[in-house]
Chains A and B, each alone.
Chain A
């Protein structure tokens, strides 16, 4: 019996192999789909740039005759943009049709995937163009004036930076303190003694069962205004209360994360440690907790991302001007300018902070999971 030799190298992969497998038709479909999307974005930006985004109104302009966003409104409503949108819908439809007509006669999987990708991208571009047309049919002028005054964001940039700084301070102080407190809460909540366990459970359930905005409001009114505790009074009082409540709140959530992590360890780890003569506390400290912390880093980072966004709830405390965080800054600018573009600035600030954190969670999950399999296997 002859045995065919095993292939010497793994089958080819990668972009070059993918390109080599394409047919003219699949290239054309993919190209047209991408073209639709590029035309939509590049064309829209080019047209809006040509008309301009904002203008400076002369101070003596009569009320209602000049808005900073007039050029943008004009660009959005321009016939050029309308034509562009219809053109994109046409190109997208062509990509979709091509894929539909040729899908059954492509020679291989790579060509089929390219054609499908072209069709999907083309249809996405067409749908976006449709949304643009729909948007043009509504109150563009008022919307642009109130929400798209980009100039405002530039004017108030330092305020936003200060807001981001406060958001980060609140997040890291509250998060750091909360995660330390949470570890102890988790250990207490797993005690075999009811008298130790019960208070921890009550604490955790209370803070997980009531809204953070209630906790902040109650602490603000009850502790700062009514009790006037030394540490929590004066100009820094509300800020300190904010950190304290965020920490207390996160402690409850992180305690549950720690608990899950500790309970996910095999019982044998504790038993092996105890059989060597380590006390319960030593076994926890040197064997169980170090492993559990490694396991809970991704979910804990996740809780932290949630906390970053939840710092926005401290607006109920009425912080001083320089203490305002991102949402507070946005609200303040809105109330002084009556222009809602400030909200966009807040959103941008949050995204700049949270997106890298979200990436970090994904990265840590992948990295630590691979570590975990080697731990188990």
Chain B
């Protein structure tokens, strides 16, 4: 395998007295679809958020494309433009149109001209099947559409890795699939993805590697089908038996 895009070295994270991440090591390689599962409070979202430093690890080092993000001399903003993130609650900017949501960072961060940014926004909207909503306001869209706009917004920066933080958890059941389909196609196109999810079907079908976390520790790791079929840890077994 080629060199890792992301490398986490002995990450520890405390929230006050709560030890959320305990000495976590992780490498993410190109074209991987890494799925993080685990009970709530297991630290999987926190782990995902340390990758783009939305959570600063209390101890440990984060590397992205060979650059140490935990080094205070690193330009985090520049690094973040190459990592897309999609949130559970969409977090679209309600005061900007769908296109405005996408062009903001293109113009202000990448310095694209208005025309060029619009073009790129439209391209990405087509990609997620929402070209007809370019001028709409986020509040006029369904949850599934909002989440697809959020994906388009992240993709427009042309990132090398996409981080998905329980992106279907806030959606009505009938809207989950449209978002998962977009993610599935993205995976098929070879995008490197880290996905925190409770969608076990997606984990099994699309994931290339599965990580089970509990209490801030990576308990089990392997190809999704194998882990689902033969969990080695008791904790993994009981977790999977409860949700499958």
> Please, which residue of chain B has its CB at the minimum distance from the CB of A377?
B139
Give the distance in Å from the alpha carbon of A290 to the alpha carbon of B101 in the complex: 14
User: Would you call B78 and A277 a contact (CB within 8 A)?
Assistant: yes
* Contact residues, A347-372 vs B (CB, 8 A): none
B177 to chain A, nearest CB (A): 22
Nearest residue (CB) in A for B93 is A287
Interface string of A233-270 (1 = CB under 8 A from B): 00000000000000000000000000000000010110
CB of A274 within 8 Å of the partner chain = yes
Quick check: A275 and B139 within 8 Å, CB to CB?
Answer: no
Tell me what chain A mostly uses at the interface: helix, strand, loop, or mixed: helix
Whether the pair B139, A375 counts as a contact (CB closer than 8 A) is yes
Give the residue name and chain of the A residue nearest to B52 (CB).
A275
Q: Which of A162-170, A208-216, A278-286 contacts B (4 or more CB under 8 A)?
A: A278-286
Please state if B93 and A275 are interface contacts (CB–CB under 8 Å): no
Q: Which of A271, A277, A278, A375 contacts B54 (CB 8 A)?
A: A271
CB-based contact A276/B105 at 8 Å = yes
Q: Between A and B, how many residue pairs show CB distances below 8 Å? A: 69
- How far is A287 from B87 in the complex, measured between Cα atoms in Å? 16
Bound state CA distance, A376 and B31, in angstroms?
Answer: 36
Q: Do B87 and A277 touch (CB < 8 A)?
A: no
Q: How far is the CA of A377 from the CA of B94 in the complex (A)?
A: 10
Contact A271 B104 (CB under 8 A): no
User: With an 8 A cutoff between CB atoms, is A109 at the interface?
Assistant: no
Partner of A272 from the list B93, B137, B140 (CB cut-off 8 Å) is: B93
A272 touches B91 (CB 8 A): yes
A268: contacting residue among B52, B80, B89, B95, CB under 8 A: B89
| CB-contact partner of B95 in A271, A275, A276, A290, under 8 A | A290
Query: 8 pairs across A/B with beta carbons < 8 Å?
Result: A273-B105, A276-B105, A276-B153, A278-B77, A278-B104, A278-B105, A287-B104, A294-B95
B positions within 8 Å CB-CB of A:
52, 54, 77-78, 80-81, 83-85, 87, 89, 91-95, 104-105, 108-110, 137-140, 150, 153-154, 157
- 14 extra interface residue pairs, beta carbon distance < 8 Å, beyond A277-B80, A278-B77: A271-B87, A271-B91, A272-B87, A273-B104, A273-B105, A275-B52, A275-B85, A276-B104, A276-B109, A276-B153, A276-B154, A286-B108, A291-B93, A291-B94
A-B residue pairs, 4 tightest by C-beta: A277-B81, A272-B91, A276-B105, A268-B91
Which residues of A approach B to under 8 Å, CB–CB? 266, 268-269, 271-279, 282, 286-287, 290-291, 294, 374-375, 377
